[in-house]
Amino acid sequence: MPKVARRAFAAAAAVLVLASIPTLAHAAPPSFAIVAIDSLRGEWGVAAVSRWIAVGARSIGARAGAGAWCALELPDPREGDRVLDLLSKGISARAALDSLALGDDRRGERQIAIVGKSGETAAKTGDLCPPWSGERFGRGYVCQGVALRDEAPVTAMAQAFLAARGTLAERLIAAIEAAEGVFPVRDETESAALLVVHEGGGPNGWSDRMVDLRVDSSADAIPALKSLYAAHAATFLPAAYARFGDEAKRRGDPVSAEREYARAEDGFRTAIARRPKDADARNELAWFLATHDRDVNEAVNQALVAIHLRDRDPILYDTLAEAEYRSGSLVRAIEAMERAVKYSNGGARYADRLKRWTRERETLEGKGAKTTP
């Protein structure tokens, strides 16, 4: 073959090879997700899994009192924020989705799912998304997948979500586990994310992010996400449930209050079962039992165990003082609070309570009453 012909043949072969390699823009990784609402508890959530790293950083979002969204293919966080703004104003999920499509010249490449304020759903998979891509709707949820073998993982998600019991977060995890069981997306790495929002559900009630967990890169991301959730549930969720119970009690709903309190107590006890020698876990249970009139005697015992595990901590003595006071022992409450003041180097909060209780004792003694020893 002449040299010129050989060069032409080599160039043509190179073009064919390059043409057979998909560009990154079209090499969508297998991914699946579920967006759902728990209307009884006022929670919206999303769980997503992808063979690309950090799916939670770019593809999901939710806002308490508004709704939730997920975009597995060509996600745009700006559009996610726009969706939540529209939903928060009472715009339906379908109207919000239609609004996004207006003027979007890449809508054929996008996939998005939305659950709205009242649980209405909307979803779209563009005709330029890679096969197999699509969704399955149900009451209050949407399951989606992109670049899958077929629709089996999406169907498995829906079935598992409907069959699962427990919190919204636990049902979402069950859904993505079922999808992975049908069609594992893990290869060398995968990512997974879980987001559940509830008004005041974040730590200390300062945000709506009751659960916001991500495994950005792992050989087996879903078990890692489950492990994170178990730790998070034991650490933060019992206090959130206690706050929800307090809210229900204030609005005159004792049935809901008791349900939330029972869930909180179960959570605090689960935390102790996981970490029996954790003074903070014992202290959390003791404070809850004392301040919610559930079992003040056990509250005293749990507080004493916490102090045995970590003495000289004013927070623990403060809890013991509260439990003793509510059990009717003003003398022992004052003794515990004196320790709290001592170990906090005169902390104002503890000192103020000590002064108040001391005056109370003096008043009782001045009237000839006896305090419980």
Alpha-carbon span 325 to 296, nearest angstrom: 9
d(CA 13, CA 26): 22
Per-residue pLDDT in tens (0 to 9) along the chain, 373 residues: 444 444 444 444 443 333 333 333 446 789 999 999 999 999 999 999 999 999 999 999 999 999 999 999 999 888 889 999 999 999 999 999 999 888 788 989 999 999 999 999 999 999 999 999 999 999 999 999 999 999 999 999 999 999 999 999 999 999 999 999 999 887 778 999 999 999 999 999 999 999 999 999 999 999 999 999 999 999 999 999 999 999 999 999 999 999 999 999 999 999 999 999 999 999 999 999 999 989 999 999 999 999 999 999 999 999 999 999 999 999 999 999 999 999 999 999 999 999 999 999 999 988 644 555 5
* DSSP classification of residue 316: H
Is residue 99 within 8 Å of 121, Cβ to Cβ?
no
Residues 6+ apart with CB under 8 A from 52: 29, 31, 191
User: Per CATH, is 275-366 categorized as 2.70.98.40?
Assistant: no
**pLDDT tens-digit map of 72-104:** 999 988 888 999 999 999 999 999 999 988 878
Sign, CA torsion 50/51/52/53: positive
173-225 pLDDT tens trace? 999 999 999 998 877 789 999 999 999 999 999 999 999 999 999 999 999 99
Quote the CA–CA distance of 336 and 88 in Å, as a whole number.
48
Query: Which CA distances in Å does 354 have to 120, 333, 337, 341, 372?
Result: 54, 9, 6, 8, 17
Q: Tell me phi and psi for residue 53, to 5 degrees.
A: -75, 155
What is the model's pLDDT at position 330?
96
- Strand spans (E) along the chain: 31-38, 43-50, 60-63, 67-73, 111-115, 121-125, 134-138, 141-146, 190-197, 209-218
- Residue 148 main-chain phi, psi, to 5 deg: -95, 170
Predicted pLDDT of residue 345? 96
Enumerate the domain spans of the chain: 24-234, 275-366
**Distance from CA of residue 287 to its chain's centroid?**
24
Residue 213 CA to residue 209 CA, distance in Å, equals: 10
C-alpha span between 357 and 107 (Å, rounded) = 67
CATH pick for 24-234 out of 3.40.50.150, 3.60.20.10, 3.90.78.10, 3.50.50.60: 3.60.20.10
